[in-house]
Every structure is written in C-alpha cells, then in structure tokens.
Amino acid sequence: MKMKYLILASALFATLVSAVDAKLKVVATLPDLASLAREIGGDKIDVSAMAKPTEDPHFVDARPSFVVQLRDADVLIDGGAELEIGWLPPLLQNARNSKIEIGKPGRVQASQGVRLMNVPGNVTRAAGDVHALGNPHFMTDPIIAKTVALHIAQAFSAIDAPNASAYDANYKKFEATINAKLQEWGTAMLPFKGQNVVAYHDSWVYFAHRFSLNIDTFLEPKPGIPPSPSHLAEVIEKMKAQKIKAIIVEPFHDRKIAEKVASSTGAKVVDFAQYPGALPNTDTYVKLIDALVARLSAAMK
Amino acid sequence: MRNLIYGALACCAITGAFAQAAEPDASPPAASTPASTAEVEALRQEVQSLKEMVRTLQQQMKEQPPATTEKNNSNAPTLPQNPEPQTADTSSQPAPSPNAPPLFPTSDTAVVASSPPVNANGTSLFPTTDESVTTTPATVSSSDTGSSLTQPIPITGGGNKNYMNISFDSVFALASSSDRHLDRLEVGDHDPQQRGFNARNAEIALDGAVDPYFEGFANIVLKLDNNNQTQIELEEAFLQTTTLPFGLQVKAGQFFDAFGRINATHPHTWDFADSPLVNGRLLGPDGLRGVGAQISWTLPVPWYSQAIFAVQNGRGGTAYSFRNPGDNGVFYDRMTIDRDASALHDMLFVPRFENSFNPSDTQTVLFGASGAFGANDTGPNAHTQIYGADFLYKWKSPRAEGGFPFVKWQTEAMYRRFEAGRGLDNLFPVDETFRDWGMYSQVLWGFKKGWVVGIRGDYLHMQPSAFTQDDTRQSRSRISANLTWYPTEFSKIRLQYNHDFLEENEFLASRNADSVFLQFEFILGAHGAHKF
C-alpha cells in the first residue's frame, strides 16, 4: 500500500516538475536529427536520440525504455523514409501518445520536402535491403539538412508558440552557418570533383551529389548483403582501373574487409559516419560534415 | 563577420531565386500552392539554370587561384552574375501577410531586410540551395503562398498508400530423431512432429490502421499434419485502441495471452526450432490464447513499467490447463465435463506486470511476473492457477551492424496448481491436486552479422500420480544447442540438436532421445518489425 502511494506521489511530482520547467520534450530516432533539434531548440528543449551514433540505424533494438521516451515526448522527429521501419512501428504502438501521430504538429518526418534519390522503379528484395521510398540517408547533404531544420523549427514554433522567435532565430543562424560552411566545404572538395570513391554501404548518395563525387561502388554486393570474395575481387579490379583512392566505412562496418581491399589497391580507408558523435569531436552536425570533408579530402590528395 | 555576410548574401540569392520560381511570368502569383504544370515547368527551368550556374561557378573556381575564393565575393568581379536575382527586386519580396500564423515570424527581418539589394554580387561560390534535392525552403516561409507554416510540404516521404500490411511467413523443418514418436517427444503443436519434413507453421499476417481509433491484426496459420492434411487456425484476430489517454490500451478479439516471454510470440520469431517443455506442458501445445479482452496500462513512472490484465473464455485446446475438454473428451485420464461458464470465476483471468530498465547504454533487462487463473473441465468445481516469472537480459554492441553482435539471456519459470476432479459423473476414483513446475533458460550469442549460436536447458517436474499413466504428465529434462544463419532478416536456416532425458513408460520406450532439426524459414511481404 505504501509502495502504491509512493508511486503515485512520485508520478505527481514528476508531472509537477515537468510543468514547472516546461521544456519541450523532443525525441529523435537518429542522432543527426537530434543534433538539428538541438541547434533549433537550444535550451528551450530536452532532446534525446534513440539510435546510437555508432550503430547500424536499420537495426536498433526496440528497447522498452524507448516506449517511455516516446510516451513522454512532445515532439518526435523521424526520418520518414522507412529507415527505422524495423523498430519504430512497435514502439509507437506501445507508446500510446497521440501527440506524435503522423499528421499531428508533434510529428516531424524529416523526409518531407526532400526529393529522395534512388527510388527503385521495381521494388524487389532480390536486390537486397531496398527502400521503396528511395535512399533514406539524406541528411549527409547540408542543403537537405537546412530543409529538415526548417521543418523542425516550424514544429517547435507550432507547439511552443511563446518561444517561436527563438526557434526562428536559431533556424536563421543555422541556415547562415550552413550557407557559409558550404563555401568552405565546397572549396575543399572542389579539386576532387567527378572522382570515384568506394563505400561499404550505399549511404552516401546525397553527400556525393552535393560535392560532385561518384560514390557508386560498394563493398557490399547489394545493400545489406555482406561482401563476398568474388564481389570484392571485382571491386579491387575496378579500383585499380579507376585509380580510386578512398574507401569510406562507417563505425559498424567490418573495417578489416575494407583494409584488405585497401592494401591490395593502395587506397586509404577513411572512417566516415552519418551521425554526429560517431567520430571524435563531431558532437554537432556542422562539426560532423567538417570532419567528413577534412578526412575525405586528406585521403584523396 | 564574413560568415554573416556570406549568409546574408546567400539568403538574398535564395529568396530572389525563389521569388522568380514561384512567380513565373506566365502564371498568376496566387496559384503557387497546388503545383500547376506551368509552375513545374518554371521550377524545372529554375533548376536547370541553377545547375548551369553551379557548373559555371565551379569552372570559374578551377580557373581561379585559391586565394580569390577567400575574398569577400562582392569583390570578385570575375564571377559571373547570377541572372535570377536581378529580376527580383526588394518590392517582389513577400510582405508579411496579416493572415499568416503569428507562431513563426514569416518576414526575413533578421536577414533579408538588413541585407544589401538583392542584385548585388550576392552570388555564392558554392550553391547553398538545390531544388533537385529539396522543395525550396522559401516555399514554406514566404507568406504569399497562402500555406500554413505548419502545413506539411506536399512532397512527402511517407506518403505511400497503405491500408494493410500483408505478410506470409513459412517455417519448415527436416527432422531426424532416435525416438519413433516425435509427436510425443515434442511438446508444441508447431514443433516438428514426424521424422522427415514438417510444415507446421505457415502464417498469413495482416495488420494496419482500422481508423483513427483502432489498429487491427490478424494471423491465420496453415499447417500440414503428419498425413499432409491442411489445418487452419485463426491464431489471432484482434483490434487494439490507439488513442486512449493515461497510457491505457485495450485489445479485444482472439489473441495470445501476455504470459511470460514466449507465449505471446509466434513460432517463426523463436530462437529455437521448438517450444520449451514448460510452455508446451503447462500452457499447452498451442500456447495460451483465446477470445477475450485485455487492458494494459503503462505506469507514469520514469522507467518502463506496464500492467496488463486479460479476461478470456479460457475454453478449448488453446486454454489447455483450463476449460479444456481434451482429446476425445479425456484430459489427464479423466472424462471431462465440457461446460459453459456458469459464473465469472469460470472465465480465464491473466494478469501480468513487467518492468524494464537499462543498466548501461548497451544493456537492457526486463523482469515480468504473470498469472493465469480459471476453471478446468475435470470437475464441476475444479480450478487451475498458473504463476510465471520471466527475465530477459540483452547486450548489443554499440557498433552493431544489422543488430549483431549481441548476447541475449532469457529465462522463464512457471508453477501450476491443477485441481484434478473426478471427471464426468465422478467416474474417476479420486480427486487430486497436481503441483507442477518447470523452467527453461537460454542464451543466444549473435557472434557475427547474420550468425547466432544458442544453448537452452529445459526442466519440467510433474507431480507423480498413482492413478494416471499420461505421457503428458511425465517429468523430464532436455538440453538443446543450435546454430542459425540469417542470410537477411527475411530468411533463416537453423540446425538444432536436442538431447532429451526421459522416464521409461509405455509411450516413450527409451531413457534418452537424440534429435536433429534443420529448420528453414522465409518471409514475404511487409517488413516484420522486431519487438523486443
């Protein structure tokens, strides 16, 4: 009986506390979306990301603690392009939070307003882990990130009107930063325009598009299918023929395979990541792109 | 400072460019929200011209020494003029509309108003917008489009038509065993039941949003018996609320009870090719499920804590320990009385309470306690109580690819008190109370992407009865090991070895039995989301 009162009291207390500090509770499925939310929300919001920056975003465990996060969320930001389809739906079913349903102001689907690339004309799983709506790794293009940031700012403003001007100002600031940084990044990548880069998985099409690279050779024979020796032999041949200098791998990929390919072609393995926090000193989106540009341009020199 | 200037100039360029895009010469400015053909054409041209611009600029960049690019670009006379901004002057900037929602300021007071005229050399060296990848942000923030700022941009990612997800999961097993009676050795209805090939679980799964208030689920299972006759089960068919307040959710229809970990899940999601002994013998070969209603409540505490309570008829073979008339009217050697519910206490009540927390960023634990209370058919006043406890621990690497590597430890224990009456017309000589218990514990190690090795121990204690010789009331234990390869999450191939320790009786002739199963599975259709 005592326990029951204790629980009730703590619940009441929790409600009161949350009413007092009144920060928007924002949950993002992925760390890049969380980073943008932080840029826009600043100290007006509490942000948490579900996936870890170093793990494969296609397969995140639907941990019960996420149900609690989603239940308490004022805003949910998800990719909207089925990247999280393997784990988000059962969590949402369990969260019972109508504020974050699709169509409500509390739900931001980042892919809104983004023209997804590589939309398969013929969706078949014989092609591996295909995404019917198009490639969902779109946040690696800073121009797209601006659009996503704008949606986030709009959602925050709609829900938390008193702070709308702060969100607007933060968005403007973010937009200006990205616009200025794009000059820097563009300049750094310009010498490598049109060059080929090999990636472990097909998650860099937007980055490649932005900086005029060709990233269309992959260590995986098909998305999500582990590299096979015969496929790697083809990749090595192609790399030698095209004098490809860099292989980009993400933290959750098997780096040894990339190293093996690198050693037989003379290319460099470049540690890449889609998510802020996965590489040292990349706790924000801008720092992440800084790091990617620096690493890739250093490897391709 | 320079950043700011760049930013300001870039914004001008964007806004200017947009103003032109949104108001092509031929079309009236008001009609910009629903994209007309003319506008699409205009946008296309815009994109084309931007692309041209980028190309020219990049060419220019190559020809210039790097030092030039460092300069403020308003001093770079060699740069080509962007033709677009010149057509848009400040008067074409959208004036803040009085109808615009006040939530988010629409005029670019911070950037545009204080910036120099748009037709200054405000061209960025590197493009900062790209209409081939996004619908231009300006579309949303300018007030003359008449669109609400909170209104979604029309090109949506998740906009596919989808009324129902359909999938088909099929599990097969090639079995070999030292015991001739695999159907008696294996305790689950979806387990391999004969030497050779088995097709014990092919299920059609349907789910989707019914309306704004409910979601619907259905699982229809087809299986082939040992004579290759098809049997159909309506395994589950229920609706579930989506919009109840206070963390409540109601489920109604035919469904698996939330008793422990394995009972509520479908065979194709299991980590072993067969059901644990304790599940098959205490909850029943088909699992505990039936028609009824369930309410669940997520407690308002900072950790995951959920209370679930279900009421079902608790009748028939899928309520094995309850009002189950048994095969040919016999259960535990008693002629059963197949009775209707005479009072509320004849129904089946299934409560559960579960809690979960994360000891670290990579570890999760979940504890659960379950109960199942109801009447049984061996006597007019015979009742059954089952109590269960379960525990799950999971570690997953912070650098997991495809969900690997991981370690998962799962344990369930159950205790059953079964009041066995004297059966129909008191024909059985005595009434007895069976106190049975059992448990299993299993560890799965996903050591490499797609590869899982597992080990499981099973123990079952059935209270001996002087009056029955029922093979389903035999105490026994088992050890199992397996290796599973998941080529993708839509297929798997599993090799499993079981060693059974048995008591000799008239049904099971030997003391030990060795079995090997080769299980294979495929999934078609909707992406099966993974519950924890």
Whether B497 and B377 map to the same domain: the answer is: yes
Whether B375 and B332 map to the same domain: the answer is: yes
What are the φ and ψ backbone dihedral angles of B452, each rounded to 5 degrees? -135, 135
What pLDDT, in 10s, does the model give residues B414-461?
999 999 999 998 989 899 999 999 999 999 999 999 999 999 999 999
Whether B138 and B178 map to the same domain: the answer is: no
Contact B488 A129 (CB under 8 A): yes
Mutate to test the interface with B, among A15, A46, A55 (most CBs of B within 10 A): A55
Contact (Cβ atoms closer than 8 angstroms) between residue B64 and residue A196: no
Whether B179 and B114 map to the same domain: the answer is: no
Whether B281 and B133 map to the same domain: the answer is: no
Is the CB of residue A127 less than 8 Å away from at least one CB of chain B? no
Strands A196-199 and A246-249 turn out to be parallel
CA distance A268 to A259: 8
Contact (Cβ atoms closer than 8 angstroms) between residue B416 and residue B462: no
Contact B104 A164 (CB under 8 A): yes
Q: Is residue B153 part of a domain?
A: no
Q: Is residue B177 part of a domain?
A: yes
What is the predicted pLDDT for the residue at B149?
Answer: 34
Nearest-CA residue of chain A relative to B67? A187
Contact B61 A206 (CB under 8 A): no
Whether B99 and B183 map to the same domain: the answer is: no
Is the CB of residue B358 less than 8 Å away from at least one CB of chain A? yes
| pLDDT exceeds cutoff 60 at B402 | yes
Whether B63 and B181 map to the same domain: the answer is: no
Strands A246-249 and A268-271 turn out to be parallel
Whether B182 and B93 map to the same domain: the answer is: no
Of the partner residues B6, B110, B401, the one whose CB lies closest to the CB of residue A180: B6
In this prediction, residue A15 has a pLDDT band, given cuts at 50, 70 and 90, of low
Contact A85 B527 (CB under 8 A): yes
DSSP, res A161? G
Residue that the structure tokens 């190559």 belong to = B62
Whether B63 and B180 map to the same domain: the answer is: no
Residues 139-178 of A with CB under 8 A from B: 141, 143-144, 146-147, 150-151, 153-155, 157-158, 161, 164-165, 167-169, 172, 175-178
Q: Is B178 helix (H, G, I), strand (E, B) or coil?
A: coil
Contact A98 B242 (CB under 8 A): yes
Q: How far is A240 from chain B (nearest CA, A)?
A: 26
Helices (H), chain A: 2-21, 31-41, 64-71, 88-95, 142-159, 164-189, 205-210, 229-242, 255-265, 285-300
Contact B149 A154 (CB under 8 A): yes
What is the predicted pLDDT for the residue at B134?
Answer: 72
CA distance B68 to A123: 48
What pLDDT, in 10s, does the model give residues A269-286?
999 999 999 999 999 999
CA distance B96 to B80: 32
Q: How many domains does chain B have?
A: 2
CA B414 vs CA B29, B352, B428, B440: distances in Å: 72, 13, 27, 9
Q: Is residue B474 part of a domain?
A: yes
Q: Is residue B17 part of a domain?
A: yes
Structural domain containing residue B360: 173-187+271-525
| pLDDT exceeds cutoff 90 at B315 | yes
Contact B133 A206 (CB under 8 A): yes
What pLDDT, in 10s, does the model give residues B473-510?
989 999 999 999 999 989 999 999 999 998 766 555 56
Average pLDDT over every residue of B385-391: 98
What pLDDT, in 10s, does the model give residues A84-136?
998 999 999 899 999 999 889 999 999 988 999 988 887 788 888 788 889 99
Contact (Cβ atoms closer than 8 angstroms) between residue B454 and residue B272: yes
Q: Is residue B349 part of a domain?
A: yes
CATH of the domain at B281: 2.40.160.10
Whether B53 and B178 map to the same domain: the answer is: no
The domains located in chain A, with CATH, are 18-182 (3.40.50.1980), 185-300 (3.40.50.1980)
Q: Is residue B224 part of a domain?
A: no
Whether B75 and B182 map to the same domain: the answer is: no
Please, which contacts does A236-242 make with residues 24 or more away whose CB atoms are closer than 8 Å?
A: A236/A261, A236/A264, A236/A265, A239/A198, A239/A265, A239/A267, A240/A265, A242/A196
CA distance A200 to A255: 9
Whether B133 and B278 map to the same domain: the answer is: no
What the block records as the tokens of B384 is: 């059954």
